[in-house]
């Protein structure tokens, strides 16, 4: 466990500066948008009637559009930097299984995601909660907390799966001498295809699993008749089995097949 924590700490350290920077930019953009919102007389008067305000959209643009791309880029970088900085010599000389090294990177990426999510949602609630009259418009703090949690969990799971697929693509890319970029891209596409295909193939076997309705999960009672969003766990089983398989394969490839040479 001590070894694993050392690996996680190492990976966290390499991501510290970019995370701080992105958090700072996100908060700065939110503060700027909040100030603009206050200075716009019509919006201050009845915020709800001017929804969605362009400033709020701008403030949330970074977390919504940029964070997912940035996190995928980070999952490439955490591996790629080991080669660029020659620290792969240190990493490959350690007597630890490849999956532990991969898992440490995943854990640190998930922690980065958590920090960024906390900054984005915390910032949005603190800066815009009052303007949008959230206190009275929404059912209550526990409802907000519950839905933020589901949002966090959904994003985390999706991001973890994507990061696992990315790790495989980068590791396989490092196993070839030439056209690493093309190989990496194709392996990533194949990994995404494989996970979705296995999800489809295994779905009939797990049909007995109950369907989760989003309006029940998120207590959106008034929307019950308008939006029917459902999560089918039957499809998720195959998806996650494939993801776990890809993760195990990446660990084996990293330990047995990759070399220090780029």
Partner 1 sequence: MTTAEHALVVRDLRKRYSQVEALKGISMTLPRGEIWGLLGPNGSGKSTFLKCVAGLVKPDGGEIQILGETPSRRTKAQIAFVPEVESLYRWMTVGQVLDFTAAFFDDWQPETALELLEFMHLDGKSRVSSLSKGMRTRLRLILALARRAPLVLLDEPFSGIDPSSRDRIVEGIIREFKGEEQTVLISTHAVGDTEQLFDSVVFLAEGRVALQGSAEELRRSRGRSINDLFKEVFP
- In degrees and rounded to multiples of 5, residue 177 shows phi and psi of -80, -35
Nearer to partner 1, 69 or 93 (CB): 93
Nearer to partner 1, 55 or 254 (CB): 254
Contact letters for partner 1, residues 90-109 (x by CB under 8 A): x-xxxxxx------------
Whole-number minimum distance, CB 94 to partner 1, in Å? Answer: 5
208-237 residues in contact with partner 1 (CB under 8 A) are none
User: 212 pairs with which residues across the strands?
Assistant: 231
Nearer to partner 1, 216 or 262 (CB): 262
Number of residues that bind partner 1 (CB under 8 A): 26
Nearer to partner 1, 92 or 131 (CB): 92
Is 181 a binding residue for partner 1 by CB under 8 A? The answer is no
User: Mapped to the 3 state alphabet, what secondary structure does the chain carry?
Assistant: CHHHHHHHHHHHHHHHHHHHHHHHHHHHHHHHHHHHHHHCHHHHHCCHHHCCCHHHHHHHHHHHHHHHHHHHHHHHHHHHHHHHCCCHHHHHCCCCCHHHHHHHHHHHHHHHHHHHHHHHHHHHHHHHCCCCCHHHHCCCHHHHHHHHHHHHHHHHHHHHHHHHHHHHHHHHHHCCCCCHHHHHHHHHHHHHHHHHHHHHHHHHHHCCCCCEEHHHHCCCHHHCCCCCCEECHHHHHHHHHHHHHHHHHHHHHHHHCCCCCC
Candidate list 41, 52, 140, 177; residue touching partner 1; CB under 8 A: 177
Is 205 a binding residue for partner 1 by CB under 8 A? The answer is no
The token duo for 204 is 């009939």
Nearer to partner 1, 51 or 89 (CB): 89
Q: By CB under 8 A, which span of 81-89, 110-118, 158-166, 195-203 interacts with partner 1?
A: 81-89
Candidate list 23, 77, 87, 147; residue touching partner 1; CB under 8 A: 87
Nearer to partner 1, 86 or 224 (CB): 86
Is 2 a binding residue for partner 1 by CB under 8 A? The answer is yes
Binding site for partner 1 (CB under 8 A): 2-3, 6, 10, 13-14, 85-90, 92-97, 177-178, 255-257, 259-261
């Amino acid at each position: 466990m001590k070894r694993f924590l050392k690996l996680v700490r190492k990976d966290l350290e390499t991501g510290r500066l970019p995370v701080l920077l992105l958090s700072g930019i996100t908060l700065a953009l939110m503060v700027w948008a909040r100030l603009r919102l206050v200075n716009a007389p019509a919006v201050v008067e009845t915020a709800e009637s001017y929804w969605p305000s362009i400033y709020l959209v701008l403030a949330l643009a970074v977390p919504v559009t940029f964070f997912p791309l940035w996190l995928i880029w980070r999952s490439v970088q955490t591996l790629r930097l080991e080669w660029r900085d020659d620290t792969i010599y240190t990493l490959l000389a350690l007597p630890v299984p490849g999956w532990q090294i991969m898992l440490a990177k995943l854990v640190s990426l998930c922690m980065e995601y958590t920090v960024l999510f906390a900054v984005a949602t915390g910032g949005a609630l603190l800066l815009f909660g009052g303007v949008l009259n959230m206190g009275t418009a929404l059912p209550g703090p526990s409802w907000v907390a519950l839905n933020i949690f589901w949002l966090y969990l959904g994003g985390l799971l999706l991001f973890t799966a994507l990061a696992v697929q990315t790790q495989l693509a980068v590791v396989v890319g490092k196993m070839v001498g030439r056209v690493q970029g093309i190989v990496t891209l194709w392996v990533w596409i194949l990994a995404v295809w494989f996970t979705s295909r296995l999800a489809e193939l295994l779905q009939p076997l797990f049909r007995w699993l109950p369907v989760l309705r989003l309006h029940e999960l998120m207590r959106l009672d008034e929307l019950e008749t308008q939006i029917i969003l459902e999560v089918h766990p039957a499809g998720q089983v195959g998806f996650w089995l494939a993801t776990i398989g890809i993760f195990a394969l990446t660990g084996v490839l990293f330990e047995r097949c990759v070399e220090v040479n780029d």
